[in-house]
């Protein structure tokens, strides 16, 4: 895809000042810089992040996932509007590795969230399209920092749940919300296994009209199942709530749970601790990214990794030996 | 810790022949070679693995975990003896990162598994102690290959469930078995969240004497909870069984489930597919290991990683910038 070509950029320090002053244009430009692959842009982006780091981290970071059709966008539009109505500044980001193919979809995102799209206290940014999930997540994390510096106090990170994207989003948020559908009759949809470990709150959507009782029944069964799972947190047991993105029912209760989650964890410094763990893990993930990028782009190594992967996958070469060759090629 | 110092080693090819002939002494020597950190041993180990690769992969690989006190060793001793009684050759390996401190515990393992320890058709090898979980897992995977080449058709890999060790063991086995305790009254112990995603079979142990009914009750509740979770496999829904490592009750039924799991997955080539995915993933994990080892040992870089980690953890440095510095230091 084409590289973004922003207008001549002010110095990172100047841009940082404008972002801190809440200038939307500056924020958008900063994000474009962060998402750019041009080496000179990258250097400016790193300088910008360094400038803004002390001003980041102030928002509550919420990851949201759910299968297609669960009504994520409608729910985010409703929750976001509900929050801006209470005086919050809400940024909606997305992690969608598949957008690498489509090149993102601002229009799509804007239309999917009709109210937030025109809300002066909301900011919607589509998923960066950066080749790999790691790349997409890294740029989203940097964008999150920029949004926090710009004064947004609620960051909603939506993911489509493709491959490992849910884990990636859980790795960059404080709380992970899983939207579920109530199913017809007593046939429950299975909860995706990997999600259980990540979910801090499970919300059964479409609890409106005829769906209300089905949603309550589903919620009760999910709660019973979750009750048997040990909690990953010393101060939190994953609750199951019902809501309606359509009518807004249950959004107040959901937000109360989210604030309860934050206050319980903050009281013990667990949010800070979690973010630090995430940051260190993220640092290593990015080094890994760089290593694999080097393998992908270095003409001499370009063929090596795929060839060795194929050899290993076909059972002709021990992974140990293949790893040894890659490491040597990397000079490790 | 002292490096193992094996007697003058025969050529990798000769050693491979002896291992294939089923010589226990040769197998033990091969494993010592694989576990050694001496560079010359490492080269011989890689050559040995290359020789034996075509003869590996024939065993059914079973990962087993459970909290301390669940009766893992007794159950493995009973299951292993049950299997050797049916003509199987059983190797018991362990992944215990904490053994890095203790230096392993052959004696411990032998005494914990009294019957298998003296069973000519069984082979018990304690956890390698190689510094990092990745290192321990890599050596265990190589040892597994050696055991398969030596004719063992059942590999049981035990893990203590410290940190990520369960994920590591699931990554090197075909089937992951989770042992649970029935709890007094109707107070169920929670299933460790991360485990749910890994468990192919859940077994409630100590289903003997007065414990039998409590075990059945616990099993029913775990089954109900698991039923609500979507299966990761198209051909398998995680079952919950009860057994007694003490009396051997339920071991037949457990093994029938294990064989059922294998045949269903083999029928669709899913075992091979899983192993190939594991191998490629493992290859990259080892490259990562090498990279971090380089950071730990290169005098120039030795201080860098911990220093940057600290800067990032304290929120003084953006992870992006830290990753950039590490990558540059690595010449990436």
Per cent of chain B over pLDDT 90 is 54
Q: CA-to-CA distance for B35 and B136, rounded, in angstroms?
A: 9
* Chain A residue at shortest CA distance from B327: A287
Predicted local confidence at residue B9, as pLDDT: 64
- Tell me the two tokens of residue B82: 């049950």
Per-residue pLDDT tens for B142-199?
999 999 999 999 999 999 877 788 999 999 999 999 999 887 545 566 777 778 778 9
Contact between B331 and A331 using a beta-carbon 8 Å cutoff = yes
Min Cα separation B85/chain A (Å): 32
| Distance, CA of A179 to chain centre | 15
Same domain, yes or no, for A29 and A71? Answer: no
A279 inside 8 A of chain B by CB: yes
Per-residue pLDDT tens for B212-229?
999 999 999 888 888 887
**Chain B residues in contact with A286 (beta carbon < 8 A):** 319-320, 323-324, 327
Give the CA distances from residue B328 to residues A116, A136, A290, in Å, rounded to whole numbers and listed in that order: 41, 21, 9
**Chain B residues in contact with A280 (beta carbon < 8 A):** 309, 312-313, 319
Contact between A191 and B319 using a beta-carbon 8 Å cutoff = no
Residues A36/A4, Cβ–Cβ less than 8 Å: yes
Same domain, yes or no, for A85 and A209? Answer: yes
**Chain B residues in contact with A310 (beta carbon < 8 A):** none
Instruction: Give the pLDDT band of residue B100 (cuts 50, 70, 90).
Output: very low
Counting as low any pLDDT under 70, the low residues of chain A are 1-9, 99-110, 130, 184-189
Same domain, yes or no, for B191 and B204? Answer: yes
- Tell me the two tokens of residue A92: 């909606």
Q: Which residue has the tokens 């949010």?
A: A271
Per-residue pLDDT tens for B282-314?
888 888 778 777 777 777 778 888 899 999 988
Same domain, yes or no, for B77 and B178? Answer: yes
A220 inside 8 A of chain B by CB: no
Per-residue pLDDT tens for A99-145?
544 444 444 566 789 999 999 999 999 888 767 787 788 899 999 99
> Of B215, B237, B267, which residue sits at a domain end?
B267
B217 inside 8 A of chain A by CB: no
A240-242, strands of its sheet edge to edge: A122-124, A90-95, A154-159, A60-65, A175-180, A201-204, A240-242
**Chain A residues in contact with B50 (beta carbon < 8 A):** 317-318, 321
> Of A226, A244, A267, which residue sits at a domain end?
A267
Cα torsion through B44, B50, B55, B59, rounded to 10: 80
SS3 of B15, please?
Answer: helix
Contact between B194 and A190 using a beta-carbon 8 Å cutoff = no
B:70-99 residues touching chain A, CB 8 A cutoff = none
Mean pLDDT for all residues in chain A: 87
Of A279, A285, A308, the CB nearest to B313: A279
| B40 CB neighbour count, 10 Å cutoff | 10
Of A286, A288, A326, the CB nearest to B319: A286
Residue B248 lies in a domain: yes
Q: Could you give the number of structural domains in chain B?
A: 3
Of A190, A283, A309, the CB nearest to B323: A283
Instruction: Give the pLDDT band of residue B13 (cuts 50, 70, 90).
Output: very high
| Residue B201 per-residue DSSP state | E
Q: CA-to-CA distance for B68 and A232, rounded, in angstroms?
A: 18
Contact between B225 and A224 using a beta-carbon 8 Å cutoff = yes
Contact between A193 and B229 using a beta-carbon 8 Å cutoff = yes
**Chain A residues in contact with B192 (beta carbon < 8 A):** 230
Mean pLDDT for all residues in chain B: 87
* Chain A residue at shortest CA distance from B44: A321
SS3 of A63, please?
Answer: strand
Closest CA to A262 of A81, A80, A61: A61
* Chain B residue at shortest CA distance from A141: B320
Give me the domain span that covers residue B315: 281-329
Same domain, yes or no, for B223 and B303? Answer: no
Residue A273 lies in a domain: no
Residue B224 lies in a domain: yes
Closest CA to A182 of A162, A156, A158, A202: A202
Contact between A323 and B286 using a beta-carbon 8 Å cutoff = yes
Q: What is the pTM of this model?
A: 0.81
B67 inside 8 A of chain A by CB: no
Per cent of chain B over pLDDT 70 is 91
Residue B74 lies in a domain: yes
Predicted local confidence at residue A3, as pLDDT: 60
| Distance, CA of A112 to chain centre | 17
* Chain B residue at shortest CA distance from A314: B276
Cα torsion through A14, A17, A21, A27, rounded to 10: 70
Q: Which residue has the tokens 């077994």?
A: B203
Same domain, yes or no, for B159 and B29? Answer: no
**Chain B residues in contact with A330 (beta carbon < 8 A):** 287, 291, 330, 332
CATH number at residue B16: 1.20.5.170
A:222-251 residues touching chain B, CB 8 A cutoff = 222, 224-225, 227-232
* Chain B residue at shortest CA distance from A195: B197
A58 inside 8 A of chain B by CB: no
Same domain, yes or no, for B117 and B252? Answer: yes
B:155-214 residues touching chain A, CB 8 A cutoff = 188-194, 196-197
* Chain A residue at shortest CA distance from B309: A280
pLDDT for B1 beyond 60: no
Give the CA distances from residue A59 to residues A15, A49, A160, in Å, rounded to whole numbers and listed in that order: 21, 16, 22
Same domain, yes or no, for A7 and A134? Answer: no
Residue A272 lies in a domain: no
| Distance, CA of B99 to chain centre | 14
* Chain A residue at shortest CA distance from B293: A332
Predicted local confidence at residue B188, as pLDDT: 64
Same domain, yes or no, for A41 and A72? Answer: no
Contact between A309 and B222 using a beta-carbon 8 Å cutoff = no
Of A222, A282, A284, the CB nearest to B228: A222
A270 inside 8 A of chain B by CB: no
Residue B10 lies in a domain: yes
- Tell me the two tokens of residue A119: 């809300």
Residue B115 lies in a domain: yes
Of the residues B283, B293, B294, the best mutation for testing chain A's interface (the one with the most A CB atoms within 10 Å of its CB) is B283
Residues B309/B315, Cβ–Cβ less than 8 Å: no
What number of C-beta contacts closer than 8 Å exist between A and B?
192
Contact between A193 and B327 using a beta-carbon 8 Å cutoff = no
Distinct helix (H) and strand (E) counts, chain A: 16, 9
Per-residue pLDDT tens for A25-45?
999 999 999 999 888 998 899
Same domain, yes or no, for B286 and B178? Answer: no
Residue B135 lies in a domain: yes
* Chain A residue at shortest CA distance from B190: A230
* Complex-level ipTM beyond the 0.85 threshold: no
A317 inside 8 A of chain B by CB: yes
Q: Which long-range contacts (CB under 8 A, 24 or more apart) does A19-22 make?
A: A19/A52, A19/A146, A19/A149, A19/A150, A20/A52, A20/A55, A20/A149, A20/A150, A22/A150, A22/A151
Same domain, yes or no, for A194 and A312? Answer: no
Contact between A323 and B225 using a beta-carbon 8 Å cutoff = no
> Three-state SS across B206-225?
CCCCCHHHHHHHHHHHHHHH
Predicted local confidence at residue A274, as pLDDT: 93
Predicted local confidence at residue A83, as pLDDT: 98
Q: Which residue has the tokens 């040769």?
A: B26
pLDDT for B106 beyond 80: no
A16 inside 8 A of chain B by CB: no
CATH number at residue A138: 3.40.50.300
Closest CA to A62 of A267, A220, A265, A287: A265
Predicted local confidence at residue B107, as pLDDT: 42
Same domain, yes or no, for B37 and B75? Answer: no
**Chain B residues in contact with A309 (beta carbon < 8 A):** 280, 283
């Amino acid at each position: 895809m084409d590289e973004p070509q922003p207008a001549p950029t002010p110095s990172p320090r100047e841009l940082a000042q404008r972002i801190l002053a809440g200038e939307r244009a500056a924020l958008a430009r900063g994000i474009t810089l962060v998402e750019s692959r041009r080496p000179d842009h990258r250097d400016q982006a790193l300088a910008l992040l360094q400038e803004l780091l002390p001003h980041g981290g102030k928002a509550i970071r919420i990851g949201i996932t759910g299968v297609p059709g669960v009504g994520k966008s409608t729910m985010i539009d409703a929750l976001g509007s509900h929050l801006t109505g209470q005086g919050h500044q809400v940024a909606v980001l997305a992690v969608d590795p598949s957008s690498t193919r489509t090149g993102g979809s601002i229009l799509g995102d804007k239309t999917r969230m009709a109210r937030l799209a025109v809300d002066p206290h909301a900011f919607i940014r589509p998923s960066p399209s950066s080749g790999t999930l790691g790349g997409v997540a890294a740029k989203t994390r940097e964008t999150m920092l920029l949004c926090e510096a710009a004064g947004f106090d609620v960051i909603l990170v939506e993911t489509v749940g493709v491959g490992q994207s849910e884990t990636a989003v859980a790795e960059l948020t404080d709380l992970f919300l899983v939207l579920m559908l109530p199913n017809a009759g007593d046939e429950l949809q299975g909860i995706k296994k990997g999600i259980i470990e990540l979910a801090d709150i499970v919300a059964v959507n479409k609890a409106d009209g005829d769906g209300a009782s089905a949603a309550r029944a589903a919620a009760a069964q999910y709660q019973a199942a979750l009750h048997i799972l040990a909690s990953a947190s010393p101060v939190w047991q994953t609750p199951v709530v019902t809501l309606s993105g359509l009518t807004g029912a249950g959004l107040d209760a959901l937000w109360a749970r989210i604030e309860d989650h934050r206050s319980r964890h903050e009281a013990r410094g667990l949010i800070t601790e979690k973010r630090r763990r995430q940051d260190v893990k993220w640092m290593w993930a990015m080094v890994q990214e760089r290593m694999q990028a080097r393998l992908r782009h270095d003409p001499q190594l370009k063929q090596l990794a795929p060839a060795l992967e194929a050899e290993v996958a076909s059972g002709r070469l021990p992974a140990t030996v293949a790893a040894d060759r890659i490491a040597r090629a990397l000079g490790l």
